[in-house]
């Protein structure tokens, strides 16, 4: 279904895409982070995932949807947020394991 978008909706989409791109960059940084950098990057990435999903749900043009469809969409976004946070935690765990196995806790090679 192609829903027409006005200028503010297009700006919301652009903002969401920019935030998603920033989240991807955070996850990439986690992949090469030192042990000291990981906590802040992980917290920021998890916050970003949650914010993106909440913002998407708040800014979508939902007036054309039935109430039950709106609820389903919001539930899906909430699940996506939680799933992203779990995936980020997995990436953090993997990076920490790499650091432990290489013996480089806070030194970048």
Q: How far is CA 91 from the centre of its chain?
A: 13
The two tokens of residue 5 are: 């978008």
44 within some domain: yes
Domain that holds residue 95: 11-102
5 within some domain: no
41 within some domain: yes
Domain count, the chain: 1
Confidence band of 5 (pLDDT split at 50, 70, 90): low
- pTM beyond 0.85: no
67 within some domain: yes
69 within some domain: yes
DSSP track, 47-63: HHHHHHHHHHHHHS--T
- How does pLDDT run across 16-70, given as a tens digit for each residue? 888 889 999 999 999 999 999 999 999 999 999 988 888 877 776 677 788 888 8
Tokens 């997995």 locate to 90
């Amino acid at each position: 279904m192609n829903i027409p978008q006005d200028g503010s909706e297009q700006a919301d989409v652009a903002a969401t895409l920019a935030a998603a791109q920033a989240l991807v960059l955070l996850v990439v940084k986690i992949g090469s982070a030192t042990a000291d950098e990981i906590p802040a990057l992980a917290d920021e990435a998890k916050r970003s995932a949650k914010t993106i999903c909440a913002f998407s749900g708040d800014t979508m043009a939902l007036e054309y949807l039935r109430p039950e469809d709106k609820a389903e969409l919001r539930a899906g976004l909430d699940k996506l947020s939680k799933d992203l946070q779990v995936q980020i935690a997995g990436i953090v765990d993997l990076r920490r394991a790499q650091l432990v196995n290489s013996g480089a806790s806070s030194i970048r090679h």
